[in-house]
């Protein structure tokens, strides 16, 4: 043990060996970490190689130099994959250097960053709209501005939990609003809302169940019925739509309420995500009555929850494509619209290239907190063998390929693989044989 400890190089020796290749402070810090770990291993009787210090330090520093956030190939068939950034972004070139983020070029004075998407959203929704950093922020901000200190009426069946353990009641409590539950888990009637209204009521909240499905003996008032009740009592009706669909996808098997339809039905304010069925970057959109939206925008927390220039640029790109019905330019919408016939043709070509596997009819899903009870027919390339081992090899490749395991076999769904990634995917699959 003592011989091994004495054979460990000093920090200065390692630093001298790697000088000029990395910043000195990084070399020193990593060398200390590696040497301390080897000392611990030696004293504990674990296998350790003192001669490997330099190599270990160099490998660690190279790893630090490699970007953590990188492109992957999503072969799972989950279009809005939460772990893979939800909606794949439409192509846009980030503006280098300065931009007119908050500068009105025509007027020659300060402008508002909202302006880059405000007109597009208003044309799409026929209502004013603002943007914050995600829909949870949109819910919080709306409740804080319109209902802090008062009661918000919500059906028990809509007290949902969204991603990462965030729950509607918790967000409501932080906003300063008081929860007023009505109805039962499975059925809520218009009378339940009517009887709950009192002098402390500030808002009626409707939450669309975009990440779960309730079936069986269920019921809830029609949106127009709820809007009429809210109008009679001069109480705003707010609908949290969750996934945020701006394009009718019913022809492709996706049934999700459209934000414009909710507003047309009498909802005063809606909010939804930007990175789900809208097909854009992470953002939360708040739209509706001009007076209410203006109030929400003046809330001091709006500045804390605002989005940056990259988000605005990505969102503007997506919204403009939707407005001009250039849906193929939006990857998520293109993937959702892919037909089983087109996917079969692509899968057959891929199968002939890789020389392994077989074609099996399967199902894709929208994913990402949307349409939980709806699937899309697809074709899978299924490969028998050590599914766990193959999945690991693909995942650790360059680029990483994220596949799924179904019935103890590796499954590849080309719905979520853009054509420009097919060559890289084929090479990765060929390497499995």
Give the strand pairing for 73-74 and 401-402.
Answer: parallel
Confidence of residue 370 (pLDDT cuts 50, 70, 90): low
Residue 201 lies in a domain: yes
* Among candidate residues 260, 171, 210, 208, the one with its CA nearest the CA of residue 80: 210
Residue 92 lies in a domain: no
The answer on 248 and 180 residing in a single domain is yes
Q: What is the pLDDT of residues 205-239, one digit of tens each?
A: 999 876 566 666 678 889 999 999 999 999 999 99
Calculate the average pLDDT of the chain.
Answer: 92
Residue 90 lies in a domain: no
The answer on 41 and 108 residing in a single domain is no
pLDDT surpasses 90 at 3:
no
Q: Which of 302, 326, 350 is the last residue of a domain?
A: 326
Long-range contacts of 26-33 (CB under 8 A, 24+ apart): 26/61, 26/64, 27/57, 27/61, 30/57, 30/60, 30/61, 31/57, 33/60
Instruction: For the beta carbon of residue 44, count every other beta carbon within 10 angstroms.
Output: 9
Q: Which of 301, 326, 351 is the last residue of a domain?
A: 326
* Whole-number pLDDT of residue 163: 64
pLDDT surpasses 80 at 1:
no
Residue 94 lies in a domain: no
CATH number of the CATH domain containing 278: 3.40.640.10
Ordered alpha helix ranges (H), 285-405: 290-298, 301-304, 309-323, 331-337, 340-354, 387-395
The answer on 202 and 158 residing in a single domain is yes
The answer on 263 and 178 residing in a single domain is yes
**What span, in angstroms and rounded, lies between the C-alpha atoms of 338 and 252?**
8
* Whole-number pLDDT of residue 326: 97
The answer on 341 and 361 residing in a single domain is yes
Ranked by mean pLDDT, the top range of 35-39, 43-47, 61-65 is 61-65
Ordered alpha helix ranges (H), 126-238: 135-147, 168-175, 190-196, 223-232
pLDDT surpasses 70 at 149:
yes
**What span, in angstroms and rounded, lies between the C-alpha atoms of 82 and 85?**
6
CATH number of the CATH domain containing 401: 3.90.1150.180
* Whole-number pLDDT of residue 102: 95
The answer on 312 and 190 residing in a single domain is yes
Q: What is the pLDDT of residues 104-143, one digit of tens each?
A: 999 999 999 999 999 999 999 999 999 999 999 999 999 9
Q: What is the mean pLDDT of residues 12-37?
A: 91
CA–CA distance from 170 to each of 166, 173, 296 (Å)? 7, 5, 20
Confidence of residue 273 (pLDDT cuts 50, 70, 90): very high
Concatenating the DSSP letter of every residue in 117-155 gives HHHHHHHHHSS-EEEESSHHHHHHHHHHHHHTTSEEEEE
Q: What is the mean pLDDT of residues 409-430?
A: 97
The answer on 213 and 259 residing in a single domain is yes
C-alpha dihedral, 239 to 242 to 248 to 251, nearest 10° = -130
Q: What is the mean pLDDT of residues 408-416?
A: 97
Name the DSSP letter for residue 93: -
Q: What is the mean pLDDT of residues 332-348?
A: 97
The answer on 167 and 47 residing in a single domain is no
Residue 95 lies in a domain: no
Q: What is the mean pLDDT of residues 374-400?
A: 95
Q: Which of 326, 341, 375 is the last residue of a domain?
A: 326
Q: What is the mean pLDDT of residues 367-378?
A: 80
* Whole-number pLDDT of residue 169: 81
The answer on 337 and 316 residing in a single domain is no
pLDDT surpasses 80 at 347:
yes
* Among candidate residues 46, 48, 22, 25, the one with its CA nearest the CA of residue 35: 48
Residue 194: CB partners within 8 Å, gap ≥ 6? 229
Residue 377 lies in a domain: yes
Residue 156 lies in a domain: yes
Residue 98 lies in a domain: no
Q: What is the pLDDT of residues 169-204, one digit of tens each?
A: 888 888 999 999 998 878 889 999 999 999 999 999
pTM: 0.91
Q: What is the mean pLDDT of residues 422-430?
A: 97
Confidence of residue 48 (pLDDT cuts 50, 70, 90): confident
The answer on 322 and 399 residing in a single domain is no
The answer on 245 and 125 residing in a single domain is yes
The answer on 170 and 318 residing in a single domain is yes
**What span, in angstroms and rounded, lies between the C-alpha atoms of 115 and 398?**
40
Name the DSSP letter for residue 87: S
* Among candidate residues 16, 303, 249, the one with its CA nearest the CA of residue 131: 303
**What span, in angstroms and rounded, lies between the C-alpha atoms of 326 and 217?**
41
Q: What is the mean pLDDT of residues 340-355?
A: 97
Q: What is the pLDDT of residues 292-334, one digit of tens each?
A: 999 999 999 999 999 999 999 999 999 999 999 999 999 999 9
Residue 43 belongs to domain spanning:
2-65
- Count of domains in the chain? 3
């Amino acid at each position: 043990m003592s011989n091994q400890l004495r054979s460990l190089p000093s920090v200065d020796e390692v630093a001298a060996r790697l000088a000029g290749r990395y910043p000195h402070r990084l070399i020193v810090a990593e060398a200390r970490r590696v040497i301390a770990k080897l000392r611990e291993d030696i004293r504990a009787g674990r296998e350790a190689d003192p001669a490997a210090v330099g190599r270990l330090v160099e490998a660690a520093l190279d790893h630090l130099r490699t970007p953590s956030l990188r492109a992957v190939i999503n072969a799972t068939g989950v279009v809005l994959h939460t772990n893979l950034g939800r909606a794949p972004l439409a192509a846009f070139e980030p503006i280098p250097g300065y931009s007119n983020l908050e500068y009105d070029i025509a007027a020659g004075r300060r402008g508002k960053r909202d302006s880059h998407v405000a007109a597009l959203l208003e044309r799409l929704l026929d209502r004013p709209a603002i943007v914050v950093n995600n829909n949870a922020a949109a819910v919080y901000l709306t409740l804080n501005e319109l209902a802090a200190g008062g009661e918000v009426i919500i059906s028990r069946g809509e007290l949902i939990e969204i991603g990462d353990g965030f729950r509607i009641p918790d967000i409501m409590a932080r906003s300063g609003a008081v929860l007023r539950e009505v109805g039962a888990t499975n059925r809520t009637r218009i009378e339940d809302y009517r009887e709950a209204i009192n002098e402390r009521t500030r808002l009626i909240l409707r939450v669309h169940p975009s990440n779960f499905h309730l079936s069986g003996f269920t019921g809830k008032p029609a949106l127009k019925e709820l809007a009429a009740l809210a109008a009679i009592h001069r109480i705003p009706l707010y609908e949290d739509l969750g996934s945020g669909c701006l394009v009718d996808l019913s022809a492709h098997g996706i049934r999700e309420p459209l934000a414009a339809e909710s507003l047309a039905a009498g909802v005063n304010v809606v909010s939804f995500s930007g990175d789900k069925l809208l097909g854009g970057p992470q953002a939360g959109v708040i739209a509706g009555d001009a007076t209410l939206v203006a109030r929400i925008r003046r809330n001091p927390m709006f500045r804390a929850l605002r989005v940056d220039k990259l988000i605005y640029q990505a969102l503007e790109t997506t919204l403009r494509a939707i407005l001009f019905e250039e849906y193929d330019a939006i990857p998520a919408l293109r993937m959702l619209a892919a037909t089983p016939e087109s996917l079969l043709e692509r899968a057959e070509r891929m199968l002939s290239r890789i020389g392994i596997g077989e074609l099996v009819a399967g199902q894709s899903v929208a994913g990402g907190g949307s349409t939980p009870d709806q699937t899309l027919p697809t074709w899978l390339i299924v490969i028998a063998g050590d599914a766990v081992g193959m999945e690991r090899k693909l995942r650790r490749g360059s680029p990483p390929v994220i596949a799924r395991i179904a019935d103890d076999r590796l499954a590849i769904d080309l719905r979520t693989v853009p054509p420009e990634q097919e060559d890289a995917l084929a090479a990765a699959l060929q390497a499995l044989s």
